[in-house]
């Protein structure tokens, strides 16, 4: 698992946690590695999902297609996963099938003794997986703390309020006082009744 790239298929795996995050840094590192080693990726799999588990669409697709003798290249260990218990198991899965996994930012031991290399590198992977898992917990903790602080300060969370039609407030008062019906209210604003009640719900929150 820790050797040079094989002559069989070479795949790359990229992961970020959210749709908004940028994958350029990972793509650039993989491109540079491919150029330096004169190789071409058969497929680059990319997930935008949390690293807390391995229930990811593209990762599952990678596991289905990769076979003995193939190579998987990843920029960083925590791109594979941030779960202390499961990340080493995933690497073990590939090792048992003689599938090489190269992690660009994680220097691994290569003595030529396969069993010794596996033992030493497995210890290293376990340690790094533990660090990644703890970092994930810290991030979650900071997010929760930030949300609590924002709520305590009266900051409204969630979607920004929808911009209401110009005369909404004027006709809303008439509707509340039963001077006009909901149908009339909607017609005055030139919107559907369903849209009107969405506006009312948001306005009254």
Catalytic residue ranges: 17
Residue 5's SS3 state is coil
Question: What is the pairing mode between strands 43-48 and 100-103?
Answer: unpaired
Q: Are the C-beta atoms of 5 and 39 separated by less than 8 Å?
A: yes
Determine if residue 154 is left, alpha or beta; phi over 0 gives left, psi from -120 to 50 gives alpha, anything else beta.
Answer: left
Give buried/exposed letters for 174-194 (b at 16+ CB in 10 A, else e): ebeeeebeeeebbebbeeeee
Q: How far is CA 189 from the centre of its chain?
A: 42
């Amino acid at each position: 698992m820790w050797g040079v790239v094989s002559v069989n298929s070479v795949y790359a795996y990229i992961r970020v946690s959210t749709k908004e995050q940028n994958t350029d840094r990972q793509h650039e590192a993989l491109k540079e590695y491919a150029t330096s080693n004169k190789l071409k990726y058969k497929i680059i799999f990319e997930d935008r999902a949390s690293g807390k588990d391995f229930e990811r669409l593209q990762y599952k697709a990678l596991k289905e297609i990769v076979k003995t003798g193939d190579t998987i290249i990843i920029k960083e260990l925590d791109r594979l996963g941030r779960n202390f218990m499961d990340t080493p198991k995933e690497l073990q899965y590939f090792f048992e099938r003689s599938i090489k996994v190269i992690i660009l930012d994680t220097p691994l031991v290569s003595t030529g003794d396969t069993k010794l290399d596996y033992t030493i590198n497995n210890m290293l992977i376990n340690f790094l997986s533990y660090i990644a898992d703890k970092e994930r917990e810290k991030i979650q903790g900071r997010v929760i703390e930030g949300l609590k602080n924002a709520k305590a300060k009266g900051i409204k969370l969630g979607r920004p309020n929808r911009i209401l039609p110009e005369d909404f407030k004027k006709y809303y008062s008439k509707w509340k006082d039963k001077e006009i019906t909901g149908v009339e209210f909607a017609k005055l604003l030139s919107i559907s009744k369903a849209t009107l009640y969405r506006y009312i719900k948001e306005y009254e929150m």
